[in-house]
Amino acid sequence: DQQVKQNSPSLSVQEGRISILNCDYTNSMFDYFLWYKKYPAEGPTFLISISSIKDKNEDGRFTVFLNKSAKHLSLHIVPSQPGDSAVYFCAASEGGSNYKLTFGKGTLLTVNP
Amino acid sequence: NAGVMQNPRHLVRRRGQEARLRCSPMKGHSHVYWYRQLPEEGLKFMVYLQKENIIDESGMPKERFSAEFPKEGPSILRIQQVVRGDSAAYFCASSPLGASSYEQYFGPGTRLTVT
């Protein structure tokens, strides 16, 4: 049973436009959410996170929105750049002393010049 | 400031052999996590360790897999009598002691191929 779902395997956008990556979760115990970016043959790189007490967190071109009632979060990248092309993973933690991360399957973002 | 280091980066083993994967956490980090990624899948949690202690091994297969993080030296993920289904990318991550957030910092991974 997948607790974190990324329903779009891939997304293609034009350089300069907004990229929106979506993530849904089923476990109501999740308390902390993270986005990671991964290039081929490399490990995931932390991008941005959000605690369940917030509904938005912004860092430069990256903004994460959390809708707890819908169990949905999204990552907005604006403006998108060709170097943003990578696989993006949504991850969640139950928080407290439980540091285990549960990952979605990822979305391949391609930003076209 | 070196990041998380893993070696080897690529490992080929025949069925029935043992695989040993090593992970050195970031300097100052005392929490280590191992994840496995099968093709076309997300990362799956395997085990969470602190120095000389296994904190959570709920994601580890019950047989053939073991992990340790000794007082000195890297963390080791050991797979005995490997089978083809063990072929995957194995990622190690670390985080600092008393982290108030849940960010984990990942190494480049070890790609295990079982022939």
Q: What's the pLDDT tens digit per position in B51-88?
A: 889 999 999 999 999 999 999 999 999 999 999 999 99
pLDDT value of residue B1: 53
Residues 6+ apart with CB under 8 A from B61: none
pLDDT value of residue A19: 98
> Which residue of A100, A103, A107, A108 to mutate against B (max B Cβ within 10 Å)?
A100
Q: How far is CA B28 from CA A55, B7, B25, B88, B95, in A?
A: 31, 19, 8, 28, 9
Q: What's the pLDDT tens digit per position in B87-98?
A: 999 999 998 876
Q: Average pLDDT of chain A?
A: 95
- Judge contact between B8 and B74, C-beta under 8 A: no
Question: Quick check: A42 and B43 CB within 8 A?
Answer: no
